[in-house]
Amino acid sequence: MELDFSVVIEYFPRLLSGTWMTMKLVILSIVLGAIVALPIALARISKNPLISGGPFAFIFFFRGTPLLVQIFLVYYGASQFEVVRESFIWPVLREPFWCAIIAFTLNTSAYTAEIFRGAIQAIPEGEVEACKVMGMTKVQMYRRILLPRAFGIVLPAYGNEIILMLKASALASTITLLDLTGMARTIIARTYTPIEIFLAAGAIYLVISIAVIYIFRLVEKRQNRYLGTLSIKVPDKG
């Protein structure tokens, strides 16, 4: 079987439109995920089990189950119920795009929360004590020192998370979205040239990942010029 890359050229514009959908999915869920993650991370750090219990369970569920299951639960699972279909959230839930965003956001926020938590807890105890002896309140301590400090630590792990999210977004294709993978699969349904089209799609993903890695390296370099290297263990996603 010879490969025929002319189909790639022919369908390239459609692959690009899939790429755009992928970008929208990733950017939106990463941004929303970060916003959701911060309070979860802070609650998770609390020594009070009443406060940290919920976030713990949330993080555990979303990190412990496949994203594919999570998407199906949101998309097919929720719509099974009449109540949901008649409620005010249905206009959102009926859209596969928003279902994907919801699943991705919840998923990435669980991972991001762990990254934030790791970063905050990686700050050497002495630096925290330096805040305390100065008479800072908890709020001042977090706002002025710990969160800005954590930002620098978080970078490598967070860059990783974005790439993992980019790749995980391929699962949107399973709920009718024409993201890059979905578009590739649709094209293949017509042309029966899986290898050519998948390779092309893979190459596009690769280019985006490499761009993300590159950007993060740059930012990191700037950050760590002064910071030295303090990094945390990265929880990976699946």
By CB under 8 A, the residues from 109 to 168 that bind another protein are 124, 126-127, 129-130, 132-137, 140, 144-145, 148-149, 151-152, 163, 166-168
Residues 6+ apart with CB under 8 A from 200: 5, 8, 12, 15, 184
CA 177 to chain centre: 18
CB of 230 to another protein, least distance (A): 8
At which residue do the structure tokens 């929880």 appear? 235
In the region spanning residues 74 to 113, those forming contacts with another protein, defined by CB under 8 A, are: 76-81, 85, 90, 94, 96
**Length of the chain in terms of residues written:** 238
Q: Are 230 and 155 a contacting pair, CB within 8 Å?
A: no
Tokens representing 169 are 């977004």
E strand or H helix at 164: helix 147-168
Pair 28, 21: CB distance under 8 Å:
no
Residue 13 in the binding site for another protein (CB under 8 A): no
> Site residues for another protein, window 174-213 (CB under 8 A)?
174, 176, 181, 184-186, 188-190, 192, 194-195, 198-199, 201-202, 205-206, 209-210
- Return the residues of window 27-66 that contact another protein according to CB under 8 A: 60-61, 63-66
Distance CA 16, CA 13 (A): 5
Residues that bind another protein (rule: CB under 8 A) add up to a total of 79
Which is closer to another protein, CB of 44 or CB of 185? 185
Among 51, 52, 56, 72, binds another protein (CB under 8 A): 72
In the bound state with another protein, the residue whose beta carbon lies nearer, of 28 and 199, is: 199
